[in-house]
C-alpha cells in the first residue's frame, strides 16, 4: 500500500474560478523521499493542505496510509506530521520542551509518552540542554529543527514538509537535509517535500513530481528524470571573438568581448555538425564543444516552460 495516494484531485477556490489543482494524481511509496516541485502558484501548497485536511478538495481523494483524509480524518492525522510553509509551526512563547509535549498530547499521546518522545527528539537535534528556553530566542535553523521535531512527536509514518529549508543558512540547510535523510533511511519515514532549492531535491529525493498550473508534468524517479533529459543532447560551443551566426532552432548565443558562447539542444547530430561547419566557414576559431549535463534546475525549467499535458 502506498503511503500517500492522491487521485484525480481538483481544488477550485471559487465555484467557477480556475483550478488551483487540476485532476492531480500521484502516489508516494513507503520509506521514500518524494520531491514535489513546481513554480509559485503551481498548486503544491494547496495539495499539501488538502493532504493535511486543512483544506477541503473540490473533487478527488487524498489518502494517507490508505485512509481517506476527508472521511477518516482522525486516522489520517494520527499517521501524519507536517511542517507548513511560511509559518512558525510551533509556539515561540513556549519552550522547546513545552511545545513538544503540547503537540504530543494534541496528537493523542499520554503525557509520559509525549515526554519520553520529546526527550529523544530534543537530544537528537542537540537541543536537550536548551529545552527550557523559549523557541522565539532560538536561531531560525533551530526553530525549524524544533518544528520538525514537533511534527515527529507522535512518530508518524508520513511527514509532509512544505519548504523546510526556506530562509535557512548553508549550515542549517545541511543539518535539515541530514536529518531528513536519516529519517527516511534509518526510520523508514515517508517524506513528501516541496522546495525551490533543487539541489536539496537532487540530493535527497528518490522520486520527483513536477506540477504546473495544478497538473503533473512529470512524475519519475529522480535518476530517470535526469537521464531522460540528458538524452536530449544539450551542447555548449565556445567561439573566438564576437561571432554573428545564423543559429539553428533551439540555440542561443551569448556574446562576450573575447568569445561567444552558443548553447542549445540538438536532437539530431546533423544540426550540430552544420553549426560547426558554419563557424568554420566564417573563419572563427572554435575553442570547445561540450555536452552539458543538465541539472535538475534545467530539467525543471524546461518542464514548467512546456504547456501542461492535456
Partner 1 sequence: MLSVPALASTGWGNAFGNEVAKGLRDLRSGWRAVLAEMITFPVFYLLIVMFMGRGQLLGELLVPVMIGLAGLAFLHEQVNRVFWGYLGDLQSGVLEQTYLTPLPSAAVVLGRQIAAVLGALPVVGAILATGCTAVLAGGGEVPFAWSVLVPAAAIAVGTCGLALVLCGLTLVFKRIESITQASVALYAIAGGTLVPLAELPDWAAALSRALIPVAPGIEAAQAILLDGATLTDLGAGWGLGWILLQPLLLGALGVVVFHRLERVAKSRGTLGRY
Residues that bind partner 1 (CB under 8 A): 13, 46, 49, 52-56, 73-75, 77-78, 80-82, 84, 86-94, 98, 102-103, 105-110, 113, 117, 150, 154-157
Cα separation, 85 vs 66, whole angstroms: 25
Q: How far is the CB of 305 from partner 1 (least distance, A)?
A: 27
Q: Are 68 and 86 in contact (CB under 8 A)?
A: no
Q: How far is the CB of 31 from partner 1 (least distance, A)?
A: 13
Q: Are 51 and 193 in contact (CB under 8 A)?
A: no
Nearer to partner 1, 19 or 275 (CB): 19
The cell for 237 is: 560551443
Q: How far is the CB of 193 from partner 1 (least distance, A)?
A: 17
The cell for 74 is: 482522525
C-alpha distances out from residue 35 to 134, 232, 240, 294, Å: 32, 22, 41, 18
H/E stretch holding 100 reads helix 96-106
Q: How far is the CB of 35 from partner 1 (least distance, A)?
A: 22
- Which residue from 32, 28, 78, 68 is spatially nearest to 209, judged by alpha carbons? 28
Nearer to partner 1, 69 or 175 (CB): 69
Q: How far is the CB of 284 from partner 1 (least distance, A)?
A: 56
Amino acid at each position: 500500500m502506498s503511503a500517500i495516494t492522491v487521485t484525480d484531485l481538483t481544488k477550485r477556490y471559487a465555484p467557477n474560478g480556475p483550478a488551483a489543482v487540476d485532476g492531480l494524481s500521484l502516489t508516494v511509496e513507503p520509506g521514500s523521499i518524494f520531491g514535489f516541485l513546481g513554480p509559485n502558484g503551481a498548486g503544491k501548497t494547496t495539495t499539501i493542505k488538502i493532504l493535511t485536511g486543512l483544506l477541503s478538495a473540490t473533487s478527488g481523494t487524498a489518502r494517507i496510509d490508505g485512509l481517506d483524509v476527508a472521511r477518516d480524518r482522525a486516522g489520517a492525522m494520527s499517521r501524519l506530521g507536517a511542517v507548513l510553509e511560511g509559518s512558525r509551526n510551533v509556539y515561540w512563547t513556549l519552550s522547546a520542551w513545552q511545545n513538544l509535549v503540547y503537540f504530543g498530547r494534541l496528537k493523542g499521546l499520554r503525557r509520559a509518552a509525549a515526554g519520553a518522545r520529546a526527550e529523544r527528539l530534543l537530544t537528537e537535534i542537540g537541543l536537550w540542554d536548551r529545552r527550557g528556553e523559549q523557541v522565539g530566542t532560538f536561531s531560525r535553523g533551530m526553530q525549524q529543527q524544533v518544528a520538525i521535531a514537533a511534527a515527529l512527536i507522535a512518530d508518524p509514518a508520513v511527514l509532509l514538509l512544505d519548504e523546510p529549508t526556506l530562509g535557512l543558512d548553508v549550515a542549517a540547510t545541511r543539518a535539515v537535509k541530514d536529518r531528513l535523510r536519516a529519517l527516511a533511511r534509518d526510520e523508514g519515514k515517508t517524506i513528501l517535500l516541496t522546495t525551490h532549492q533543487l539541489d536539496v531535491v537532487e540530493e535527497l529525493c528518490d522520486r520527483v513530481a513536477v506540477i504546473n498550473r495544478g497538473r503533473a508534468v512529470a512524475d519519475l524517479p529522480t535518476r530517470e528524470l535526469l537521464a531522460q533529459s540528458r538524452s536530449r543532447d544539450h551542447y555548449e560551443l565556445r567561439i573566438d571573438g564576437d561571432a554573428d551566426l545564423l543559429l539553428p532552432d533551439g540555440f542561443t548565443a551569448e556574446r562576450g568581448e573575447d568569445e561567444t558562447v552558443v548553447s542549445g539542444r540538438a536532437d539530431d547530430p546533423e544540426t550540430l555538425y552544420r553549426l560547426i561547419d558554419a563557424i568554420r566557414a566564417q573563419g572563427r576559431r572554435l575553442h570547445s564543444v561540450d555536452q552539458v549535463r543538465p541539472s535538475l534546475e534545467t530539467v525543471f525549467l524546461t518542464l514548467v516552460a512546456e504547456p501542461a499535458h492535456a
